[in-house]
Structure 1
Amino acid sequence: MNQRFLSIVGLATAMAFAGGCATNKEATKASKDTTKTSKAAVAQDGVPVWAPKYHEFNPSRTKKHDLLHTTLRVSFDWKKQHLHGLAELTLKPYFYPQNTLVLDAKGFDIHNVNLMKGLDGTALKYTYDGQKLTIDLGKTYTRDQNYTIEIDYTAKPNELASGGSDAITEDKGLYFINPLGEDPDKPRQIWTQGETEASSAWFPTIDAPNERMTQDIYITIDKNFTTLSNGTFMYSRQNADGTKTEYWKQELPHAPYLAMMAIGEFAIVKDKWRNLDVSYYVEPEFKNTAKKIFGNTPEMMEFFSKKLGVDYPWAKYAQVVVRDFVSGAMENTSASTFMEDLQLNERELLDKNWDNIIAHELFHQWFGDYVTTESWANLPLNEAFANYSEYLWAEHKFGADEAAYAQMDELNQYLEEAETKREPLIRYRYGDKEDMFDSHSYAKGGRVLHMLRKYVGDEAFYASLNRYLTQNKYSDVEVAELRMAFEEVTGEDLMWFFDQWFLRPGHPELKVSHTFKNGQLSLQVQQLQDTTYSPVYRLPLKVAVWTNGKRTDYPIEITKADQSFTLPVTTQPQLVLFDGDQQLLGTVAHEKSQEELRYQFYNSKQVMAEYEALTELSKNAASEVKLLQDALNNDFWFIRTMALNGLVDVKPAAHPAIVSKVKQMAREDKKGSVRADATLLLAGWGGENYKAIYEEALKDSSYLVVAAGIIAYAGTGAEDTKQKLSKFEKEENEEVSIALASFYALQGGPEKYNWFVEKIKNSKSSGKYYMLQSFAAYLASNGSTNTPQTIDMLADIALNNNLYYVRMAAFQALMVMSDKPEVKERLEKIKAQEKDKRLIEMYNQAL
């Protein structure tokens, strides 16, 4: 499962220039200075706000029965949004004799339960509380006796209480999209989402990650629809009533939460990896770009198979894009599901690729599907590996700079979360299993694996992963099995590493200083983290020292809270770079002179070190203009963007050469996001002085640059602004629409009302959130548009959209009109019907 990742590059900057900034935990990533030690807030009782919360112990599910096989025969009632199912479950007692079977079955109508012998069924007694189906088996079975239960049921997912997490926004398992076809701009689809324990909202099962089954699924549906499920497509059979039944067979065992269906009018684009079918299911409009979006998949499959020494293990690999998905993506066995944001046209592909999320879900086919965490407490055994695959792929395909940038982003995500939350990676005392889907399990976990790789070396790292996968294939694991695989390969007891990084909360917060005297470099390292909650870390790393233009790496191992090292350096160092590999997860405060920082920027040749130096030096931009100017020529786009950001407060009139360079970048930089940032910098500097540049931006091939041009041109106050920008009203691209909405939010009159309504209706999940935020500002300045139709539209979104943050944005837009009694009444109704605890808490504070 991939955390929600939205690539609206430059949007925050654009919104800032427009006079407002939209932020959302799901839709933005924090960017913080990783070179500083963070001092978290402390509650009144002296306990840090981030202190670990110890709830009741959460063990893995006790295995009373072993679910061997599931056969499902399903059909659908689109009007009621129900699934009618006939489930045959073959089981046996796990070890001890059993005469009762308890299944997870959420919100069903149970019609009958039978014990099957061949085609003959005998009715069994059962009780059902809406969550658990308890069946009297009629006799006691031992562990060498299989039995088959048939359950006739109806699943009613929309009647379930709603839950979810930051990564998975809803948990009702089965979703009908545009079920009655009332929206001409949205396809009719049905899809499922099983993680964490939502498969039992559409079929009865033992819904635990430490269970495994093979499966057959027979899907009966109208003949115009295409189906997708796990495993191999066996056949399609036409029925007398005009429907068809399609049969999918999953022959290798997997966890029930990985079972899936996707049904819709998809275009199927075929590909190959070795002799295996690889397919991309997209809406017909994107048939011609599907291979450009997903086309690196076969190369990824080859790369990961060779690195791991374990070939991709399933019968096929399919990737399907669906509407209104409740997460970024999901790694269902052999058939991953993705949010609609992945569907890009040719022009959008100039700025974006989704290789990170595609690699993430593919790597899960090994780490999560082939070998599965035994409990949600061990979720990083799935998610940390999937996140680290993004680094591995970037390193392989796009080079060291892109990989380092990905790692830096991961570190920033974790450190931002660590300001209010610090838990062990492997945590058995979570309050809710959904709490595990956080930047600890994903971002921190990936960085910890990188440190483990650096410590043991590449050969041992991949040999250990091979041993872990081959010894535990088709089974469930806990973190000790990962540790033992590494110990068996390396011969080293690695309990110290796993204890401090996987089983303890927090991270090292280091203060470093160095002095040079009499031919020796003295290094002082202090660990400043609160050891009430975090350990004193053992940190093997390298110190890189430059003398006479040459780099030398000195390995050290930190084991104490306050420790000194003496390094044999013969001449005054030009630079001391602590953690020379830039692999440490933590914060490092290492005071350096301006001269040392300049040397670091020009000579380190490492993105994170260049970023650190540029961040510090940009604080006094007026005295570092030459360096910032040089940074504009850096080979890596992110450093060029950093330099542009650092020049915001520089007086352009005093630096015509820099202005000339920025103008050139706005027109010619090979990276669209950099051209956009250069355009926005010019807008911040001079308004209408660079009007010709903005007009060129409006014609750029990159949508990002066009969006920046809209913001920049709007800031000129030119008389023809509305006329010039109105030509983008029919543009469907998200970045362009959001930029235009930010302008119309403050400058659009009542005549722009229908445009907003249409954009809100047709925008994708992420875009809908931003459009609603701009619409709220628009409503505040256009009282005549606060009509009953507006109220009805926003209330419908706030009540019925399946993304909680979109519902929240609609609620906030309604709050603009909360002085109206009828709106106040609607808001109270929305609050009363909301089932998501995050929103309920927010609404209680608002009303």
Structure 2
Amino acid sequence: MNHRFLSIVGLAAAMAFAGGCNINKPVLDTKPQAAAAAKASPSAGTEPVWAPKKHSFNPSRTREHDLLHTTLRISFNWEKQYLHGLAELTLKPYFYPQRQLVLDAKGMDIHSVHLMEGYDGKELKHTYDGLKLTVDLGKEYTRDEKYKLEIDYTAKPNEYASSGSDAITDDKGLYFINPLGTEPNKPRQIWTQGETEANSVWFPTIDAPNERMTQDIYITIDPEFTTLSNGTFIYSRQNADGTKTDYWKQEEPHAPYLAMLAIGEYVVVEDSWRELEVNYYVEPAYEKTAKKIFGNTPEMLEFFTTKLGVDYPWAKYSQVVVRDFVSGAMENTSASTFMEDLQLNERELLDKSWDGIIAHELFHQWFGNLVTTESWANLPLNEAFANYSEYLWAEYKYGPDEAAYLHLGELEQYLDEAETKREPLIRYYYNDREDMFDSHSYAKGGRVLHMLRKLVGDEAWWASLNLYLTRNKYSDVEVAELRMAFEDVTGQDLMWFFDQWFMKPGHPELIVTQRYSKGQLQLQVQQVQDSTYMPVYRLPVQVAIWSDGKKQVHPVVIDKAQQVFSFEAPTQPQLVLFDAEQQLLATVEHEKTEDELLFQFRHAGQLASKLEALQELQDQAARAQVQGMYKEALQDAHWSVRSTALGILSRLKEGQVSTLEPLIRQMAVKDKKSAVRAEALLALAGWGGPRYQSLYNQAMNDSSYQVAAAALLAYAGTGAGDASQKMTQFEKEDSEEVALALATVYAVQAGPEKYDWFMEKLHKASNNQLYYLLQSFGAYLASNPETNTPEVITFLGELAKSHRLYYVRAAAYQTLMVMSDKPEVETLMQQIKANEKDERLLQMYGM
């Protein structure tokens, strides 16, 4: 292979195959290596980097008033990006008599506040500091007295100093997309995002998760727009000024952060489940594929309702896709919002499925919406369940291996975060409520729920969830309510489980060793986690032992820092598999011989065990005995096993895989999983250079964009004389994967003639695609200094200053660094740093 090819493939790998090809696998690294453990352990008197941080206590909101109902009458000024609203709030004191009401109302103009008696209003004294609206009610009200306020206001979301987090990148509540219609290829839309406490940017409310209200929303808008909100659509009325007013009614109480609206030129694709209206709101270009994207929703509704024994609790279920969303998705009551990435054409659907995120938001309709966390400290009661629903759905619909694959990814995600952060799942001590939206609340929380399910058994698991939901419906909860539901069903005291997994930081770090002598297997288990910060865990697990080809399973309970278990075994065990169900959230170091790992791959029957064997033996992959296992892996039923084997074999030299090369060549054409076909092509590219030109040429016509993109990368690396012509033929393809593959090639091969192509793609790119394109564009600018024009500098400067996603701003800034020898660029970079407010970027910029 030539050096230019190495550069292309290396960059492609760094980009995780252009961010779109789903080749990446969770790395099954559940063993704390000795060196890593030494690094993580603090020296005497020092604190580990992951130690829980000291923050102030964050309780739930004190309930002085009870917000019973909200009526909103709203209209919009597209040019100024304002919302004009008339809010009518019905309240009463929660328990103690009250004369004063404090509402959340961020960044608004408050025009008037009236106490309403029928149609008559009495103006009330009030003060407003830009965040809180304080109203003198004129008299003291008791908890038996309702009162109604009318607030005339203007919401100005773009003038509110917002912030955000990794999960929710902005919190200004109300968003105007392409408000003046000046951005080509982007529709005009208005949408909201309420979590955590951002809905109070567009209507005055008590913006806390332990509050609940019913609502009416009257939306006045131009007639070409379709609206969506919570609850039931009641009517649309034409107005004398040419506008229309749509009326949506939410009759069941829900938390204010779950209120929503979405406005755009949508088509509404109708579906149903039982007697329930199920609709998908998409842009017109995706009308024909909407049911293929969201079409499993009715089956999910049936599955979750049946298993929980609690009917879906809301009047409808709609799903809407919006542009430039500030998160992946949001579970607004009866109307979930999704990022634009979910809109796929027929060909993209061959490569991608969004079932996980669709199941996640749907499960929230029970866990989060029907039963709501009383404070953000208890967020895992929402997010851990939604995370685990992805496992439950995959297990039901696609089988245990696909569910296990998802769970391995969750384990890796949490362990990666645990390198620098270990907090309790339920944490009242945090710096900012947005900090709760992390891999602890999601990934760790889902894995903990799986252990709870394994502990109590499936029947008790579903019965406990049923009790939790029915006992606490339309109310707010803390973690004790979940524990008590499980205790009341099972009759067991589960304080120990909830204490160690929900209330304490970290995870078990286990070292397992074994010794066999005279028919006795001794298994020693050590808990080596730092007990200064983490508990000594109680861990019910199963140990599987194979002797003479026969398997025996032994349940054990680990509850000490060091324990030894003895088991009868007639002969030297062929394999000892600790945590036979692979259900623990833990790191486990258990050394095995080559023969044991080969046996494990073929007999353990767990996806995690197969992947572990492949990865543990990767340094021996060239040996014939081990390579036999890899050959079996290339033909495994689950795509992740085939993909893992390909990834390991691709690192060998060409001569070391000669016996497997025909099989891999066949996989590049015939494997049923497009991601595996793509990875097989890249493996061949690493070995064969020009030898596989005809194969790459054939693969460019594959029905999968992922495969076509991999073929483009591979063909470009052959040095073929017509490679440039081949690339050009794909420049107009409407595919993120293809565009990013071309950008990867052009970054190291193209000259100034591709400048216009790069600029066009950058201007049209969606958020994630833009991030990856900027990586290649930086390399392109470095290779083509004549393209470092004022236009480019201005474009990158605007992205680095004002793009709503911090990681896109970071990528634009890094791309500018290519031109930092120019005085004007150096000045611009200083301005960018001076204006940046995001702590993550300030740290990166060395501020």
TM-score range, shorter chain: over 0.9
- In structure 2, do the counterparts of structure 1 residues 343 and 224 end up closer, same or farther at CA, with 3 Å as the change threshold? same
Alpha-carbon distance, 1:358 to partner: 0.2
Deviations 1:796-839 (A, max 9, x none): 22233222212221222222222222223322333333333322
In terms of mean alpha carbon deviation, does 831-840 or 212-221 score higher? Answer: 831-840
The residue type paired with residue 412 of structure 2 is: N
Instruction: Note if 1:359 corresponds to 2:352.
Output: no
In terms of mean alpha carbon deviation, does 200-209 or 820-829 score higher? Answer: 820-829
Deviations 1:534-587 (A, max 9, x none): 000000010011122222210000010000001122222111110001000011
What is aligned with 1:484?
484
Alpha-carbon distance, 1:789 to partner: 1.3
Deviations 1:706-749 (A, max 9, x none): 11111111111222211111111111211111111111111121
Aligned pairs for 1:26-65 within 5 A: 31-37=26-32, 39=37, 41=40, 46-65=46-65
Alpha-carbon distance, 1:57 to partner: 0.6
Instruction: Note if 1:188 corresponds to 2:153.
Output: no
What is aligned with 1:139?
139
Instruction: Note if 1:546 corresponds to 2:546.
Output: yes
Indicate if the aligned counterparts of 2:18 and 2:772 stay in contact, CA closer than 8 A.
no
Indicate if the aligned counterparts of 1:741 and 1:775 stay in contact, CA closer than 8 A.
yes
- In structure 2, do the counterparts of structure 1 residues 443 and 355 end up closer, same or farther at CA, with 3 Å as the change threshold? same
Aligned counterparts of 2:156 and 2:832: Cα–Cα separation in 1: 21
What is aligned with 1:778?
780
- In structure 2, do the counterparts of structure 1 residues 426 and 14 end up closer, same or farther at CA, with 3 Å as the change threshold? farther
What is aligned with 1:664?
666
Aligned counterparts of 1:568 and 1:82: Cα–Cα separation in 2: 75
Aligned counterparts of 2:18 and 2:844: Cα–Cα separation in 1: 14
The residue type paired with residue 31 of structure 2 is: K
Alpha-carbon distance, 1:16 to partner: 4.8
Aligned counterparts of 1:670 and 1:26: Cα–Cα separation in 2: 21
What is aligned with 1:8?
none
Indicate if the aligned counterparts of 1:30 and 1:416 stay in contact, CA closer than 8 A.
no
The residue type paired with residue 671 of structure 1 is: K
Secondary structure class of the residue paired with 2:40: coil
Indicate if the aligned counterparts of 2:321 and 2:338 stay in contact, CA closer than 8 A.
yes
What is aligned with 2:615?
615
Aligned counterparts of 1:655 and 1:411: Cα–Cα separation in 2: 32
Aligned counterparts of 2:152 and 2:280: Cα–Cα separation in 1: 33
Deviations 1:263-284 (A, max 9, x none): 0000100000100000000000
- In structure 2, do the counterparts of structure 1 residues 751 and 762 end up closer, same or farther at CA, with 3 Å as the change threshold? same
In terms of mean alpha carbon deviation, does 806-815 or 394-403 score higher? Answer: 806-815
Aligned counterparts of 2:251 and 2:120: Cα–Cα separation in 1: 25
Instruction: Note if 1:18 corresponds to 2:11.
Output: yes
What is aligned with 2:650?
648
Alpha-carbon distance, 1:31 to partner: 3.8
Alpha-carbon distance, 1:655 to partner: 4.1
What is aligned with 1:319?
319
Instruction: Note if 1:698 corresponds to 2:700.
Output: yes
Instruction: Note if 1:582 corresponds to 2:575.
Output: no
- In structure 2, do the counterparts of structure 1 residues 582 and 19 end up closer, same or farther at CA, with 3 Å as the change threshold? closer
TM-score, normalising length: structure 2: 0.96
Deviations 1:665-687 (A, max 9, x none): 00111110000000000111122
What is aligned with 2:750?
748
Indicate if the aligned counterparts of 2:19 and 2:772 stay in contact, CA closer than 8 A.
no
Instruction: Note if 1:450 corresponds to 2:450.
Output: yes
Indicate if the aligned counterparts of 1:519 and 1:570 stay in contact, CA closer than 8 A.
yes
Deviations 1:479-503 (A, max 9, x none): 0000000000001100000000000
Deviations 1:58-85 (A, max 9, x none): 0000001000011111111111111111
Secondary structure class of the residue paired with 2:88: strand
Secondary structure class of the residue paired with 1:277: strand
Secondary structure class of the residue paired with 2:675: helix
Alpha-carbon distance, 1:24 to partner: 13
Secondary structure class of the residue paired with 1:161: coil
Alpha-carbon distance, 1:30 to partner: 8.3
Indicate if the aligned counterparts of 1:359 and 1:390 stay in contact, CA closer than 8 A.
yes
What is aligned with 2:379?
379
The residue type paired with residue 41 of structure 1 is: A
- In structure 2, do the counterparts of structure 1 residues 288 and 394 end up closer, same or farther at CA, with 3 Å as the change threshold? same
In terms of mean alpha carbon deviation, does 831-840 or 401-410 score higher? Answer: 831-840
Secondary structure class of the residue paired with 1:61: coil
What is aligned with 2:689?
687
In terms of mean alpha carbon deviation, does 794-803 or 689-698 score higher? Answer: 794-803
What is aligned with 1:798?
800
Aligned counterparts of 1:175 and 1:610: Cα–Cα separation in 2: 47
Instruction: Note if 1:283 corresponds to 2:278.
Output: no
Indicate if the aligned counterparts of 2:70 and 2:87 stay in contact, CA closer than 8 A.
yes
Secondary structure class of the residue paired with 2:14: coil
Aligned counterparts of 1:423 and 1:610: Cα–Cα separation in 2: 31
Aligned counterparts of 1:832 and 1:161: Cα–Cα separation in 2: 16
What is the root-mean-square deviation in Å for CA atoms of aligned residues? 1.7
What is aligned with 2:568?
568
Alpha-carbon distance, 1:87 to partner: 0.6
What is aligned with 1:4?
none
Aligned counterparts of 1:800 and 1:72: Cα–Cα separation in 2: 31
Indicate if the aligned counterparts of 2:681 and 2:714 stay in contact, CA closer than 8 A.
yes
What is aligned with 1:395?
395
The residue type paired with residue 699 of structure 2 is: A
Indicate if the aligned counterparts of 1:72 and 1:217 stay in contact, CA closer than 8 A.
yes
Alpha-carbon distance, 1:35 to partner: 3.0
Aligned counterparts of 1:20 and 1:463: Cα–Cα separation in 2: 46
The residue type paired with residue 464 of structure 2 is: S
Indicate if the aligned counterparts of 1:359 and 1:393 stay in contact, CA closer than 8 A.
yes
The residue type paired with residue 278 of structure 1 is: V
Aligned counterparts of 1:25 and 1:382: Cα–Cα separation in 2: 32
Find the partner of 2:716 among 714, 717, 738: 714
Secondary structure class of the residue paired with 2:667: helix
The residue type paired with residue 811 of structure 2 is: A
Deviations 1:205-247 (A, max 9, x none): 1111001000000001010000000000000000111110000
Aligned pairs for 1:55-454 within 5 A: 55-454=55-454
Aligned counterparts of 2:114 and 2:70: Cα–Cα separation in 1: 15
Secondary structure class of the residue paired with 1:619: helix
Count of aligned pairs between the two proteins: 833
Secondary structure class of the residue paired with 2:387: helix
Aligned counterparts of 1:653 and 1:23: Cα–Cα separation in 2: 26
Secondary structure class of the residue paired with 1:816: helix
Indicate if the aligned counterparts of 1:544 and 1:578 stay in contact, CA closer than 8 A.
yes
Secondary structure class of the residue paired with 1:332: coil
Indicate if the aligned counterparts of 1:14 and 1:711 stay in contact, CA closer than 8 A.
no
Aligned counterparts of 1:773 and 1:146: Cα–Cα separation in 2: 58
Indicate if the aligned counterparts of 1:414 and 1:439 stay in contact, CA closer than 8 A.
yes
In terms of mean alpha carbon deviation, does 35-44 or 671-680 score higher? Answer: 35-44
Deviations 1:35-56 (A, max 9, x none): 3115253567521100111211
- In structure 2, do the counterparts of structure 1 residues 798 and 754 end up closer, same or farther at CA, with 3 Å as the change threshold? same
The residue type paired with residue 826 of structure 2 is: K
Aligned pairs for 1:727-742 within 5 A: 727-742=729-744
Alpha-carbon distance, 1:115 to partner: 0.8
Note the residue ranges of structure 1 that are not aligned, 5 or more in a row.
1-12
What is aligned with 1:677?
679
Secondary structure class of the residue paired with 1:211: coil
Alpha-carbon distance, 1:331 to partner: 0.2
- In structure 2, do the counterparts of structure 1 residues 23 and 812 end up closer, same or farther at CA, with 3 Å as the change threshold? farther
Indicate if the aligned counterparts of 2:9 and 2:713 stay in contact, CA closer than 8 A.
no
Indicate if the aligned counterparts of 2:639 and 2:673 stay in contact, CA closer than 8 A.
yes
- In structure 2, do the counterparts of structure 1 residues 141 and 280 end up closer, same or farther at CA, with 3 Å as the change threshold? same
Deviations 1:410-466 (A, max 9, x none): 000000100110000000001111110000000000000000000000000010000
TM-score, normalising length: structure 1: 0.96
Aligned counterparts of 1:834 and 1:660: Cα–Cα separation in 2: 54
Deviations 1:107-147 (A, max 9, x none): 00111111111111111111111111111111111111111
Secondary structure class of the residue paired with 2:597: helix
In terms of mean alpha carbon deviation, does 120-129 or 383-392 score higher? Answer: 120-129
Aligned counterparts of 1:176 and 1:698: Cα–Cα separation in 2: 39
